[in-house]
Amino acid sequence: MSYDFNIESPQTADELLAVIAANQDKNFRFGAGGTDLLLELKRAPQENLTVVNLAQLKDPIFKSITKVAGGYRIGALVTAGEVLDHEEVKSEFYTLWEAAHNLASMQIRQVATVGGNLCTASPSGDIACALVALHARCEIINTKGELRSVSVADFSTGVRKTVIQKNEVLRSVVVPINSNPNLHSGFIKVGTRLSMECSVVSLAYHIQMDDNRTIRHAGIAIGAVAPTIKFTDSACAFLIGKSKLIDTEREEFAGLISDYASPISDVRASAWYREEVLFNISKGLME
Amino acid sequence: MKINFTINGKGRAKEIKASTLLIDLIRDGLKLKGTKPGCFEGECGACTVLVDGHAINSCLYLAVNVAGKSITTIEGLGGEDQFLDIVQEKLIEHGGVQCGFCTSGMAMSIKSYSDKCKEEGKVPNRNEVAKSLEGNLCRCTGYVKIVDAAISVCGN
């Protein structure tokens, strides 16, 4: 079998839903930036495949970042490059900005989308990891036009698996606005080289403090150390009400984060190395 | 299917397959061999071209998505019957070319990034310039002269 497929290029949201409805009994895949999909199809071609090409869709909800009640809505087709050019994303959600900044290369950031990073459901997805830390929610639309909302943390159910049904498509994500004035937010990515790297361990953190620098809200997610990206509930709860951690607390905190990890050994790193790195970057997080 | 697009300033119409990659349209369909096939995985950047002014990997881009858009390849930057672009001038001046395989991709990435910086009125520092080239591999040089060339294009 050689690399080949049919293509549908809907221009509007209505056309997209109609294309999905018309292909319910056929083998189809969504393609947006195409940087993951085309690689996969070149390596493992599929028979009678239709690619639903989202790159020509002009729908503003799919394609833009807008302020909505209680948060920011980021369309599934917003590219990593567009995330980087958005001043409010940078100031409000630095973890997301830094994740996009660390993603692949300039050429790939130009086309790779937020929705693609989520739907490819890699445990080392950078943008996905930041969105989990930010308590973001996915807005999924079906062929009848009905919307449902799923937290990004629950969106992926395993490696390359998501909650998306065959009659659905990811439309957007909503990131809740910050409820406190002071932020400690960022994205730590450890790989075997600095550029173009798939994470060996990643950690997204978004910690909100009140005027007295007391932690009121915390979101910490870890990637590449379990089959899905993990939100570290108990480590986040540990921080609430504190402002600084003393040495022994930092160890305890790092232990709480590490409890969520169940890494494997692969070509990029051993399980032991991943555990050590995760513990050490966690310990350094609140210094 | 038939698509219309602009390549290096000239309007063209071309019959393609749904799955045709942009690099194949450029090299085989349009016979423009300056765009280099390297890894075909988006790692090396040798196939970098501009779509509406932005650098992309043509090996991971569907040709169907250039419909109505403007493509610039190294042949459109300068050379033959036109003056060299400042990017090419600076690569020569700084000795940023050895075997040349990565050069057309490097030049297109530098073009894209330096244009963006000019548009924003920004003069990037060395780290920022180096980061903009992280998607382009060179196995001859140590990158120093290429980054030097890029920095001078960006106005330093």
Contacts of B42 in chain A (CB under 8 A): 35, 39, 104-105, 107-108
The residue-averaged pLDDT of A271-278 equals 96
The residue-averaged pLDDT of A139-149 equals 98
Asked if A152 contacts A137 with a C-beta cutoff of 8 angstroms, the reply is yes
Whether B76 has a pLDDT exceeding 70, the answer reads yes
Which ipTM was obtained for this model?
0.96
* pLDDT for B59: 98
* pLDDT for B82: 82
Do the Cβ atoms of A56 and B19 come within 8 Å?
A: no
Selection from B33, B71, B116 nearest residue A106 by Cα: B116
Identify the band that residue B155 occupies on the pLDDT scale cut at 50, 70 and 90: confident
Please tell me what DSSP assigns to residue A165: -
Whether B78 has a pLDDT exceeding 90, the answer reads no
Token code pair at residue A42: 């070149």
Selection from B10, B35, B21, B31 nearest residue B64 by Cα: B21
Whether B73 has a pLDDT exceeding 90, the answer reads yes
- Give, in degrees to the nearest 5, the angle at Cα A21 between A18 and A26: 125
Whether A199 has a pLDDT exceeding 90, the answer reads no
Asked if A114 contacts A187 with a C-beta cutoff of 8 angstroms, the reply is no
Q: Count chain A–chain B contacts defined by CB atoms under 8 A.
A: 80
* pLDDT for A196: 75
Query: CATH second-level architecture of A60-176?
Result: 2-Layer Sandwich (3.30)
Say which CATH superfamily domain A182-284 falls into: CO dehydrogenase flavoprotein, C-terminal domain (3.30.390.50)
Tens digit of each residue's pLDDT (9 = 90 or more) over A217-233: 999 999 999 999 999 99
Selection from A254, A274, A279, A277 nearest residue A263 by Cα: A274
Tens digit of each residue's pLDDT (9 = 90 or more) over A96-118: 999 999 999 999 999 999 999 99
Identify the band that residue B156 occupies on the pLDDT scale cut at 50, 70 and 90: low
Contacts of B112 in chain A (CB under 8 A): 106
Domain boundaries, chain A: 6-56, 60-176, 182-284
Whether B25 has a pLDDT exceeding 90, the answer reads yes
Asked if B136 contacts B86 with a C-beta cutoff of 8 angstroms, the reply is no
Whether B81 has a pLDDT exceeding 90, the answer reads no
Whether A13 has a pLDDT exceeding 80, the answer reads yes
Domains of chain B with bracketed CATH: 2-77 (3.10.20.30), 86-153 (1.10.150.120)
